[in-house]
Amino acid sequence: NAGVTQTPKFRILKIGQSMTLQCAQDMNHNYMYWYRQDPGMGLKLIYYSVGAGITDKGEVPNGYNVSRSTTEDFPLRLELAAPSQTSVYFCASSGTSGILDEQYFGPGTRLTVT
Amino acid sequence: GENVEQHPSTLSVQEGDSAVIKCTYSDSASNYFPWYKQELGKRPQLIIDIRSNVGEKKDQRIAVTLNKTAKHFSLHITETQPEDSAVYFCAASRKNRDDKIIFGKGTRLHILP
């Protein structure tokens, strides 16, 4: 199993540009999450999904959108990128007990907005 | 909503000594408390977790204690080794209509030779 994969690993965006961060998992997990981690800070939940077709907002959803058309994929869309969105983005997934289960994290995407 | 406070933000201990990291949470309905370790430039990985029906759990040199009345839980690392140097995050979550997990801000642990 590849586990949780994310692409790209690094990206530089100009202010106002848009992009999609890709996340996929091959563990047949229902629950998937997107976090951002600012330098020296903890993980902030952006969006999460408890299954295909279902998404919900986390702590810091503004400026982002998600979709969950399949169990495997959970892309994160940034519209009109702003410098405040410079961060490392982690995707994660967990099994049938959702947030009561271990979260498996992807390797992260380092995004810089200038 | 849930709020998780973690202390200290930085901790330095001599190799071989013990390290303790403490977290408090605000939502009395929280019932799952994992701890994640993140090495520099790597992804977070679960090292131990505890559920609300248990007061203590141990796994080799790592232990976690939970005090539901006081709403705090702690990570204990004994006989620290250089590879224990990392950032440690506590988290709290509850299985409910809104399935969210809230992380603390992390503790950077330095193991001194």
pLDDT in tens, B101-111: 889 999 999 99
* B75 three-state secondary structure: strand
- In this predicted structure, what is the pLDDT of residue B52? 83
The residue written with tokens 């001194």 in the block is B112
Interface with A, mutate which of B43, B46, B49, B51 (most A CBs under 10 A):
B43
Copy the structure tokens of residue A72: 């495997």
Please compute the mean of the pLDDT values over residues A7-16 and round it to a whole number: 97
Position A69 pLDDT exceeds 90:
yes
Quick one: average pLDDT of A20-25? 98
The predicted pLDDT at position A12 comes to 97
A42 and B89 within 8 Å at the Cβ level: the answer is yes
Q: Smallest CA–CA separation between B103 and chain A, in Å?
A: 6
pLDDT at A28 over 80: yes
State the Cα–Cα distance between residues A65 and B24, nearest whole angstrom. 31
Q: In the prediction, which pLDDT does B96 show?
A: 59
**Which pairing describes strands A87-94 and A31-37: parallel, antiparallel, or unpaired?**
antiparallel
Gap between the Cα atoms of A47 and B99, Å rounded? 11
Residue A39, pLDDT > 90, answer no
**Whole-number pLDDT of residue B2:** 79
A106 at the B interface (CB within 8 A)? yes
What residues of B are in contact with residue A99 (Cβ under 8 Å)?
A: 32, 93-95, 99-101
Q: What is the mean pLDDT of residues A87-113?
A: 89
Tokens describing residue B57? 């759990």
Question: In chain B, whose CA is at the least distance from the CA of A51?
Answer: B99
Q: Do the Cβ atoms of B73 and B4 come closer than 8 Å?
A: no
Collapsing DSSP to helix, strand or coil, A22 comes out as strand
Q: What is the mean pLDDT of chain A?
A: 93
Task: Answer whether B113's CB lies under 8 Å from B62's CB.
Answer: no
Length of chain A as a residue count: 114
Taking contacts as CB-CB distances below 8 angstroms, the residues of chain B near A30 are none
Which residues sit opposite A22 in a β-bridge?
A7
When pLDDT is cut at 50, 70 and 90, the band that residue A1 belongs to is confident
Among chain B, residues having any CB pair with chain A shorter than 8 Å are 6, 31-32, 34, 36, 43-46, 49, 51, 89, 93-95, 98-106
Low-confidence ranges of chain B (pLDDT < 50): 97
